[in-house]
Amino acid sequence: MPDTNPLQMKKKIAIFASGNGSNAENLIQYFKNSDFAEVVLVLTNNKNAGVISKATLLNVQVYEFTKNQLYTENDIYDALQFAKIDWIILAGFLLKFPETLLKHYPDKVVNIHPALLPKYGGKGMYGMHIHKAVVENKETETGITIHYVNENYDEGKIIFQAKAEVLNTDTPELIAEKIHILEQKYFPKVIEKLILTNENYPSFGGG
Ligand code: GAR
């Protein structure tokens, strides 16, 4: 008989990404070994994004959409519903996540940001723009923030942060490498823990 107990079924993750896709790739690989969750769909607004080939090689379905579709049509919600998505992860997604979609997934949309929010957040603050600003402002530390998505750029409740030291000899490229290491190390584990604690899996009830 098929197992229909919702507590025993793997939670389904969709990843939104616009670029290279190193975080998406890491999440897909990590959850291939998980009993609790799996990445079943990658969605991108960029037909040239590296994430497309990475996801395809790992046998994850890719859904491409236009900015217009994202903000004015129901296609994306339909695709998420069809794939029975429980959690949405933004991994280098550079468009504003629409409020209409957010309403369907309360507290189930999570973003990673390559800075210690609330510093270096908001529109236009992404990727190398952030690391350049960190160097220009002579910061002594930077890091990553994993947070819930709300209706404002980079302002949702913070779930996790990890720091990296910035040396006065660091270039934006060196900072990008430090951030990449933190993202690869922590992002999948934080998402897994979030899913486990929020979905009340029996064996994890006591924390
Ligand atoms: C990551 O560093 C991610 O934190 C950042 O884009 C990069 C995507 O890399 N996200 C933002 O700047 C969002 N504001 P990837 O495509 O290789 O995962």
Q: How confident is the model at residue 9 (pLDDT cuts 50, 70, 90)?
A: confident
Pocket test for ligand 1, best of 15, 95, 144, 183 (most atoms within 8 A of CB): 183
Residue 2 pLDDT > 80: no
Q: What is the structure's pLDDT at 149?
A: 97
Pocket of ligand 1, beta carbon within 6 A: 17, 19-24, 91-92, 112-114, 126-127, 179, 183
Q: Domain coordinates of the chain in residue numbers?
A: 10-198
Residue 48 pLDDT > 50: yes
Pocket test for ligand 1, best of 27, 112, 149, 190 (most atoms within 8 A of CB): 112
Q: How far is the CA of 35 from the centre of ligand 1 (A)?
A: 27
Q: How confident is the model at residue 207 (pLDDT cuts 50, 70, 90)?
A: very low
Q: How far is CA 95 from CA 10, 89, 126, in A?
A: 28, 13, 11
User: 3-state secondary structure string, 10-56?
Assistant: CEEEEEECCCCCHHHHHHHHHHHCCCCEEEEEEEECCCCCHHHHHHH
Q: What is the structure's pLDDT at 3?
A: 47
pLDDT in tens, 133-184: 999 999 999 999 999 999 998 999 999 999 999 999 999 999 999 999 999 9
In this structure, which CATH number among 3.40.50.170, 2.60.120.430, 3.40.50.300, 2.40.30.70 belongs to the domain 10-198? 3.40.50.170
180 given a catalytic annotation = no
d(CA 61, CA 41) in angstroms, rounded, equals: 5
